[in-house]
């Protein structure tokens, strides 16, 4: 899926950014379109726009699944000129509007070792805050197609949005579901994440295609398996905290690998201590 959109359902296309394997979903309706997420930089977003224009000439609305750099730093390129509506959870919109310098700094620090060139591009990235906010749920009409935006609760962040296309049986999960690597817990709520994924699963059928934040589209069985791992992780965090075990001990026993699990354990302990 690198470099172009690939159709995964009627009028629903997915683009894979090659460096971080971020997915962008394009929904095409009658005279209108929807782009879910906008990638990391102006250059990436410009390539994304060209790929979208190869599929449809229709004007698009933008949705950000959350406020991490690789899903929304391309907003200015895709939605500023001409101005286009941008939807996100209210807390994601607040972060982009009120804390842009912090978001740039966190993004730079996150990837400077593995992707230094990309990190340098993020330092002066022009950020565009969403124009429309969602608290719990909102329904969009995309050229006659119903698209439901739903906040399932805290999980990968406190501001995750699901994008549900009932007529195509497709659910865009953002980073609540990951395929190409383990979930990222640095900004997460690991004790609540299983409930958010359970809410996601309630929107699915046995044939639903789920588009993760990164990697290949998956089926509901994959999501159920990842949900079970998240449940196990949350249980281990609670048990470790109750027993006074250090987070490192929890991480050694937890799913997803020691490094992600350690981040999850520290975040979970902070939740239980009331400091996150």
pLDDT (mean) for 133-157: 98
Quick check: is 79 in a domain?
yes
**245 lies in some domain:** no
Backbone angles phi, psi at 171, to 5 degrees: -130, 120
Token couple for 74 = 């391309």
Average pLDDT, stretch 178-204?
97
- Place 123 in a pLDDT band, splitting at 50, 70 and 90: very high
- How many degrees, rounded to 5, is the angle at CA 15 between CA 185 and CA 189? 15
pLDDT of residue 85: 98
Burial (CB < 10 A; 0-12, 13-18, 19+), residue 222, is middle
> What was the pLDDT predicted at 1?
43
Dihedral sign of CA atoms 199, 214, 167, 147 in order? positive
Task: Provide the 10 A C-beta neighbour count for residue 39.
Answer: 27
191 exposed, middle or buried (CB, 10 Å; 0-12, 13-18, 19+)? Answer: buried
- Is the separation of the CB atoms in 148 and 164 below 8 Å? yes
- Which residues, 6+ apart, have CB-to-CB distance to 201 below 8 Å? 220, 223, 224, 227
| Cα–Cα dist 135/153, whole Å | 10
Establish if 100 belongs to a structural domain: yes
Contact between 36 and 163 (Cβ < 8 Å): yes
Give all strands of the β-sheet with 12-16 in edge-to-edge order.
5-9, 12-16, 23-28, 33-36, 60-63, 86-89, 132-134
Query: Is residue 202's pLDDT more than 90?
Result: yes
d(CA 217, CA 15): 11
Contact yes or no for 204/210 (Cβ under 8 A): yes
Cis peptide before 30 (omega within 30 of 0): no
Give me the sign of the Cα torsion angle 161, 165, 168, 169: positive
- pLDDT category at 276 given cuts 50, 70, 90 is confident
Domain presence at residue 80: yes
Residue 197 token pair: 């994924």
pLDDT band for 275, please (50, 70, 90 cuts). Answer: confident
What is the mean pLDDT of the segment spanning 82-95? 98
* Position 270 in a domain: no
> Which three-class secondary structure state does DSSP give residue 210?
strand
Q: Average per-residue pLDDT in the chain?
A: 97
Rounded Cα distance between 22 and 264, Å, is 21
For residue range 219-263, what is the model confidence (pLDDT) as tens digits? 999 999 999 999 999 999 999 999 999 999 999 999 999 999 999
Report whether pLDDT(142) > 50. Answer: yes
Q: 115 pLDDT band (50/70/90 cuts)?
A: very high
Residue 240, domain member (yes or no): no
127 occurs within a structural domain: yes
**Distance in angstroms (rounded) separating the CA atoms of residues 193 and 204:** 17
Q: How many domains does the chain have?
A: 1
In sequence order, which residues have a C-beta less than 8 Å from that of residue 89 and are 6 or more positions away? 66, 133, 134, 135, 151, 159, 160, 161
- DSSP codes joined into one string, 31-50: S-EEEE---SSHHHHHHHHH
What mean pLDDT do residues 117-130 have? Answer: 96
* Domain with 213 in it: 5-219
What's the mean pLDDT in 44-71?
98
Q: What is the pLDDT of residue 27?
A: 98
Say if 256 falls within a structural domain: no
We report the CATH number of the domain holding residue 67 as 3.60.15.10
């Amino acid at each position: 899926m690198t470099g172009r959109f690939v159709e995964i359902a009627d009028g629903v296309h997915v683009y894979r950014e090659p460096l971080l394997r971020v997915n962008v979903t394009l929904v095409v309706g009658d005279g209108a379109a929807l782009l879910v997420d906008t990638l990391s930089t102006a250059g990436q977003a410009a390539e994304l726009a060209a790929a979208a224009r190869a599929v449809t000439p229709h004007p698009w609305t933008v949705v950000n699944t959350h406020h991490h750099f690789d899903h929304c730093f391309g907003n200015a390129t895709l939605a500023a000129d001409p101005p286009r509506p941008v939807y996100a959870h209210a807390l994601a919109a607040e972060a982009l509007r009120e804390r842009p310098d912090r978001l740039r700094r966190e993004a730079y620090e996150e990837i400077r070792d593995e992707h230094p060139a990309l990190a340098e591009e993020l330092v002066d990235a022009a950020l565009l805050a969403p124009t429309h906010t969602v608290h719990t749920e909102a329904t969009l009409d995309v050229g006659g197609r119903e698209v439901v935006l739903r906040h399932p609760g805290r999980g990968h962040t406190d501001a995750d949005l699901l994008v549900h296309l009932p007529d195509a049986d497709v659910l865009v999960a953002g980073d609540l579901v990951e395929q190409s690597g383990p979930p990222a817990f640095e900004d997460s709520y690991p004790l609540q994440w299983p409930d958010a994924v359970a809410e996601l699963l309630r929107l699915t059928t046995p044939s639903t295609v789920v588009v993760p934040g990164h990697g290949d589209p998956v089926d509901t069985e994959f999501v159920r398996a990842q949900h079970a791992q998240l449940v196990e992780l949350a249980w281990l965090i609670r048990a470790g905290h109750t027993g006074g075990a250090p987070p490192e001990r929890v991480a050694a026993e937890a799913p997803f690998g020691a490094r992600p699990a350690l981040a999850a354990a520290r975040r979970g302990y902070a939740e239980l201590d009331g400091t996150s």
